[in-house]
Amino acid sequence: MGGRGSLIGIGCAVAALGLAFAQTAPVPATPPQSITAYDMTAGLTWSDNYRRLPERRLRTDIDPTVPSVAQVTADIDPPSNTIATVTLSGTTLVRRPGIEGYLGGDLLIGGYLEGTDLEADLVGTSSPAAPFGATPDAQGRVSSFGFGDPDEVFIEPNLAGAATLRLKDNRLYVDGSVLATQQSLNQSSLLAQESIGGTGDEVTLLGASISPYLVWRGDQDIRGEFRVTGSSVVTLDDQLTSAEFEGVDKYTNDSHAIVVTSAIDSGNRFGKLRVGAQSRYRAIDEQGSDVLAEVETREFSTELNWAIQFSQKVEAIFAVGYDDITLTASDTAGAADQAVFADEEDRLTGGFYRAGFAYRPSERTRVSFAIGERFGETDIRSEWEWRPTARMTLSGRASRQFDTGAQNSVGALSGIGLTNEATLAQIRSLRSAFASSLIDQAIVIGEAVSSLSDRFATGPFTIDEVVFNLSGDFRRTDLLFGMSFIRRTFGEDVEQALSARFEAERALSRKLTMSAEAAVTRTEGGEVVVLSDPLTVAAREDELAQYYRLGVNSRLGRSLSAQLDVAHTVNDVEGAPVTGTSFDYQETAITAAMRWSF
């Protein structure tokens, strides 16, 4: 089936390629525009639990002279630390003839001022008392909690950028994106992005994609497109602090993908009936780990969609299609995992359909909703936006897709293809004072309220996501509220999270601003992996993570300000093991910083 599907995809691609060389109307010149806003922040943060440890953890006491290995559940006193950081953050939006795009995010460089000899601190203060020291003695006797020491100086990137290059208007374009971010490797609590210095066992993702494509736009809004996209995500395991990572040069897989897509849309050619067709072939290879199995994913999908317009405001939308997905794992995956891959192929491969409506009563309101079945389960696709005033926007979406963990990280960039054009258009419609804030929201890796996207995951998944966002700019007050539900499924491994985030900023005067932030995430299912604790490896837990912050900013000069923040994080786990490691923790952090804007 895969070979026949590939031929169909190539045929559609050739047809779209031919369309690209038809005569097209010129596009008006793009007026130059750029928005740039950057900050340099130097700060000190004191944390009473900088590694976000529970008050109970499994300790291993090893005595080779007997020999014996004893495992004891010990009470510990999580250590505090002071962290010095310098952060460059901001956004650049460029819109000039031939190119438009953005680059933004933040880059943090920090260091621990009170050392990071965590093993010695915990072994020396744990209860019951450890029989041996944290360093092996002459007989090789040692007590250990399984921690390694993180780098005393660390770098945390969270950068993203995307751009569209017009080589020939209405004909030839190139989209590109870059990504550098850090994600938790083995935690399921997923407010890790709020923790300065991280919590250990983190992975840095470096990603990039390039996508040249040919476009044909004809009379009556007819459009055809042929696109080739190459994307790569390279993982750097530079913060592996658990003892079980010793000797492992590379734990995670790199991911490389080639995607060929073609599409055609009839526009207004058939009056109130609009017809479209698209096909995609995608090849993803995930490899390079010293531990994990190599995985090859081959996907071909083809779709026919049509819409019937009943009025200028309402239309019915329909789609039918077929997915052909092949999953191949290397022999290191084991017989059980090979069987799971075979079952997933059967579940993911097959026909799909959906039906729904689109409603646009005004320029400020639009709604689309469609329901059907795809990848063996209910498929809901929806997008809506309502702008009750020029200063407030409510929006949301629902989607179901098949992807891999690493490629989904690159795909989360909002600057690919037509999405880039929509984002830039929205930014340009706002006043400059609020534009930088919107850009920051637009380039967040994944969703600001989506917890699962902050934990790196390798391999293929079906991903269901529902997102709601509200943003408002009320002169002296900025508000942002978001909710999301995300579910990631592979075989019987189902992990889902419901998240909410609220942010507010209020200008009390020309020089004084207060801000508040609250985030709550409930995670169910999935694996809570503690590699150094065999009693809790692959334990399935339900977690409730909470993050609260209050801040005040005082403007000292035209481009200089002082910031004071107090943050508190709580992680509660239901059904935590009676013995071994508990995953409950609390942290209070106080940050004082100076910010220079330029």
Q: Which secondary-structure segment (H or E) carries 121?
A: helix 118-125
pLDDT digits (tens, 9 = 90+) for 258-305: 999 999 999 888 999 999 999 999 999 988 877 777 888 999 999 999
- Pairing relation of β-strands 542-555 and 512-525? antiparallel
Phi and psi at residue 272, in whole multiples of 5°?
-85, 0
Which pLDDT score, from 0 to 100, does residue 3 have? 40
Which pLDDT score, from 0 to 100, does residue 542 have? 74
Residue 93 CA: distances (Å) to CA of 102, 176, 521: 4, 15, 32
Which pLDDT score, from 0 to 100, does residue 262 have? 95
Cα atoms in the 13 Å half-sphere on the side-chain side of 179: 32
Given a cut of 70, the residues of the chain with pLDDT beneath it are 1-33, 148-150, 183-201, 237-249, 331-337, 405-406, 408-458, 526-541, 574-583
> Domain limits of the chain?
68-112+150-596
Residues β-bridged to residue 196 = none
Which pLDDT score, from 0 to 100, does residue 407 have? 72
* Strand boundaries in 390-510, DSSP class E: 392-404, 460-474, 477-490, 493-507
Q: Which two tokens stand for residue 35?
A: 């928005």
pLDDT digits (tens, 9 = 90+) for 353-378: 999 999 999 989 999 999 999 998 99
Helix, strand, coil percent values for the chain (each to nearest 5): 15, 55, 30
Q: Which two tokens stand for residue 325?
A: 């997905």
- Pairing relation of β-strands 460-474 and 585-597? unpaired
**DSSP classification of residue 113:** S
Which pLDDT score, from 0 to 100, does residue 386 have? 93
Which pLDDT score, from 0 to 100, does residue 170 have? 73
Which pLDDT score, from 0 to 100, does residue 408 have? 66
Domain covering 68-112+150-596 in this structure, CATH number: 2.40.170
For residue 457, count CB atoms less than 10 angstroms from its CB and return exposed for 0-12, middle for 13-18, buried for 19 or more: buried
Q: Which two tokens stand for residue 496?
A: 């889902």
Which pLDDT score, from 0 to 100, does residue 104 have? 80
